Amino acid sequence: MHFNDYVVVFIRRVWFFIFKLEYGDYARLNNQVEEANRQLRHMRGDDLQGLTMEELQQLEKTLETGLRRVLHRKGEQIMEQINDLRKKVMEMTKTGKQMVAESETVVLEDGQSSDSITNISESGNSRENDDCSDTSLRLGHHMTKVHGFDDQ
């Protein structure tokens, strides 16, 4: 035999060895895929006829554990949504109170704000300003009650 013949034989053996390794990996991976598909069918409730009592109990335990995890995660998401909604309500309430406070300082037709009218009624003769002061106070108080923004 010549040297070239030895090289050819060696190359053939290497290729055969590589083929066996790759085929073995393919067969192993194929078996794993088949097993995963079988387990998935069982979890969906399909192909249960051939299972023993022990296998059925193990499947039930697995499904119960998974269901507990799903329900736990669902509860977490619901609580997150509730907390987000509470924050939004608080922000909206704060904004509403600010809007009411701003509307109470609206400039009246004669150019005076309700704050300045209150200051006038508190100084000097309270009897002279009672009508104007009472009216503005009642309106301001009424507006907070109507819109639900009173500070209780």
Question: pLDDT, tens digit, for every residue of 63-77?
Answer: 999 999 999 999 999
Pairwise CA distance, residues 15 & 21, whole Å: 10
pLDDT in tens, 47-62: 999 999 999 999 999 9
Phi first, then psi, for residue 107 (nearest 5°) are: -70, 130
Arithmetic mean of pLDDT, 106-126: 50
Best-predicted range by mean pLDDT (21-25, 41-45, 53-57, 139-143): 53-57
DSSP character at residue 1: -
